[in-house]
């Protein structure tokens, strides 16, 4: 016999991750608790050696298995409607590496609960017939990522390429090939705009801002892509799923160990990811609403990306394919597009004027 803990309108489905996927409920909590034991073991080593014992791991597994069987056999209502699967992702990032950064580990562990809290808020918005807005998703993303990046940001000079950038950029010097002129010029701007901290720290801040921008664009890419697949007409539950999917994807993208390590020190890769995400966003918009102007902006952005990292060229065939697929929609504007391309008579400071001499 099911016990009701509140009035539920007829024909209304009550969402609960543990109801729909009971096998995932207990393993997720076990992973999260095991991650906590490793963090405590590493934090207070060697004072809590029992946390690293196989008996501790075995005890958690037995308790989790028993709890899982009990939930399946009983009709006990779920304690929370929030999906707990996001807890497993940071737990695996804590448990799997042979070495662990304690600050990063604690941020991941607490961040897992933060994502669950955001999910619960989105579920409550859906239950009250209020669609979660893009602004709330962006705010939640930045509110989580910005403190994480700031707390793990390098405060002084780094090593290898990071050290080279931190020394050369403030002087507008020349770094190793290909020179990375876009990163160099923008980095110089960051050293002038931020009035405090070492020059190396200011350059690191700029790199973290590029990473935040790339994460925001990934969120918007997933959201618009899901809407393009028909979730817009799927009602409140569809919009809820789209918001959760876009938010979780952006968080996974931003907190990958490799990307995270590049986001907190002077490196060109976060700016490269920002430009790449912007190009993909423009191409997605071109597929949805083709215009000649958007193609021109896409080409300009790819060209700009080449001044930061030459691998941006791999986006050119994708842009060409999108242009071909949408040709029927923008071909009427081809004369307008040709008129915006550079010509020998351009009055740009980078081109000579003499080929146009004598022309009106």
List pLDDT tens digits, range 70-80: 766 665 554 44
Containing structural domain, residue 80: 18-100
Contacts of 102 (CB under 8 A, 6+ apart): 39, 42, 43
Task: Reduce the secondary structure of 327-345 to three states and give it as a string.
Answer: HHHHHHHHHHHHHCCCCCC
| Residue 333, in any domain of the structure | no
In a domain, 11, yes or no: no
Query: Residue 94 falls within a domain, yes or no?
Result: yes
> Would 222 be classed as within a structural domain?
no
C-alpha torsion angle, residues 153, 139, 187, 180 (rounded to 10) = 100
Rounded Cα distance, 28 and 92, in Å: 10
The pLDDT value given to residue 7: 46
115 found inside a domain: no
Q: Are 220 and 278 in contact (CB under 8 A)?
A: no
- Look at the pTM and tell me if it is higher than 0.75: no
For residue 317, CA distances in Å to 209, 283, 299, 320, 324 come to: 28, 12, 11, 5, 11
- What confidence score (pLDDT) does residue 29 get? 73
- Structural domains of the chain, count: 1
Task: State the Rg of the chain over Cα.
Answer: 26
Backbone phi and psi for residue 3, each to the nearest 5 degrees, phi listed first: -100, 125
Rounded distance between C-alpha atoms, residue 263 and residue 329, angstroms: 39
Angle at 246 between CA 115 and CA 294, to 5 degrees: 145
Ranges of the chain with pLDDT below 50: 1-23, 78-82, 129-131, 231, 345-360
Assigned token pair, 184? 């160099």
Instruction: Give the pLDDT score at 25.
Output: 58
Please identify which residue in the block is written with the tokens 């002087």: 171
Instruction: Please report the pLDDT score of residue 82 as a whole number.
Output: 44
162 φ/ψ angles, rounded to the nearest 5 degrees: -60, -45
Q: What are the residues whose beta carbons fall under 8 Å from the beta carbon of 79, sequence distance 6 or more?
A: none
Q: Supply the pLDDT for residue 75.
A: 58
Q: What is the maximal distance between C-alpha atoms in the chain?
A: 94
Q: Is residue 221 in some structural domain? A: no
- Evaluate whether residue 177 is within a structural domain: no
């Amino acid at each position: 016999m099911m016990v009701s803990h509140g009035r539920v309108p007829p024909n209304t489905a009550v969402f609960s991750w543990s109801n729909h996927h009971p096998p995932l409920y207990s393993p997720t909590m076990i992973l999260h608790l095991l991650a906590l034991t490793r963090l405590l073991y590493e934090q207070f080593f060697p004072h809590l050696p029992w946390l690293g014992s196989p008996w501790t791991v075995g005890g958690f597994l037995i308790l989790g298995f028993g709890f899982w069987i009990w939930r399946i056999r009983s009709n006990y209502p779920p304690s929370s409607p929030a999906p707990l699967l996001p807890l497993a992702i940071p737990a695996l990032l804590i448990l799997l590496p042979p070495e662990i950064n304690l600050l990063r580990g604690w941020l991941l562990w607490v961040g897992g609960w933060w994502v669950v809290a955001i999910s619960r808020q989105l579920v409550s918005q859906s239950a009250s017939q209020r669609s979660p807005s893009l602004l709330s998703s962006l705010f939640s993303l930045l509110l989580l990522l910005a403190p994480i990046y700031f707390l793990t940001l390098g405060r002084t000079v780094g090593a290898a390429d990071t050290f080279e950038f931190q020394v050369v950029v403030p002087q507008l010097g020349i770094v190793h090939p290909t020179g990375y002129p876009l990163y160099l010029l923008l980095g110089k701007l960051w050293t002038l705009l931020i009035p405090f901290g070492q020059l190396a720290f200011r350059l690191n801040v700029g790199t973290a801002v590029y990473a935040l921008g790339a994460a925001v664009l990934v969120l918007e890419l997933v959201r618009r892509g899901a809407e393009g697949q028909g979730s817009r007409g799927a009602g409140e539950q569809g919009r809820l799923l789209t918001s959760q999917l876009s938010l979780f994807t952006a968080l996974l993208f931003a907190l990958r160990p490799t990307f995270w390590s590049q986001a907190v020190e002077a490196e060109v890769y976060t700016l490269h990811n920002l430009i790449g995400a912007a190009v993909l966003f423009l191409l997605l918009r071109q597929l949805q609403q083709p215009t000649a102007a958007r193609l021109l902006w896409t080409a300009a952005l790819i060209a700009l990306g080449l001044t930061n990292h030459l691998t941006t060229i791999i986006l050119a065939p994708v842009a060409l394919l999108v242009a071909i697929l949408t040709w029927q929609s923008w071909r009427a504007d081809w004369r307008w597009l040709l008129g915006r391309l550079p010509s020998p008579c351009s009055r740009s400071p980078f081109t000579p004027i003499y080929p146009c001499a004598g022309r009106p």
